[in-house]
Structure 1
């Protein structure tokens, strides 16, 4: 049976910061959610765009051309090849849409880098408890 997902609810249930989890697939892309706080570090994705949606909180994405600040409900696409450094002073819930080939922190590897296998770990179920007539 098809099941609706709550990206915000799933992101809120995560216990690690900067550890995205795949919640859906769309053609050749993954839909991911994450709980973030602090900064992840400068990196780029040479051949892939990266779409950010803020589900709760505020996210700043520093880029060489200047920063962009996203509030709850805002969306921003970091173009392929653009060095960027997302950060959140307070805990923030985000959704990402990126090609399946996108490496978490591009060619930069640090303590926050997550493998695709880590991102594909199961997430809590999200069943709706409401009854419909």
Structure 2
């Protein structure tokens, strides 16, 4: 058992993570960041939940770039093949659930 105070979590670099669980090849990780990630497509599906902060999530749909502002409590689900990139607005803490080894 472990209690994690997500608002207190920091990392020594952007997108640094605390591994919380690996359940049969599906990982749950807490990320801290203050910088954008890179455009990517995950190896499987991804659940991206903003716990603290604001994130501008860019994603491609039908060849067009779209974006949505995600606030604390908002969840972005990237289905298989969804190209996306997260741009935090200041510091953000994000819970990511995805297949082990995914980008």
Higher strand share: 2
Residue 58 (structure 1) aligned to one of 43, 54, 62: 54
Pair 13,38 (structure 1): closer, same or farther in 2 beyond 3 Å:
closer
Give the TM-score normalised by structure 1. Answer: 0.66
**Gap regions ≥5 residues in structure 1:** 105-133
Superposition pairs of residues 1-133 of structure 1, within 5 angstroms: 3-6=1-4, 8-9=6-7, 12-45=9-42, 47-65=43-61, 66-102=66-102, 104=103
Alpha carbons 2:55, 2:92 under 8 Å: kept:
yes
Once superposed, which parts of structure 1, at least 4 consecutive aligned residues long, lie more than 3 Å away? none
What count of residue pairs does the alignment treat as equivalent?
A: 99
Give the TM-score normalised by structure 2. Answer: 0.83
Residues 40-71 of structure 1: per-residue CA shift (max 9 Å, x gap): 121112x4011111110011210123112211
Higher helix share: 1
**Gap regions ≥5 residues in structure 2:** none
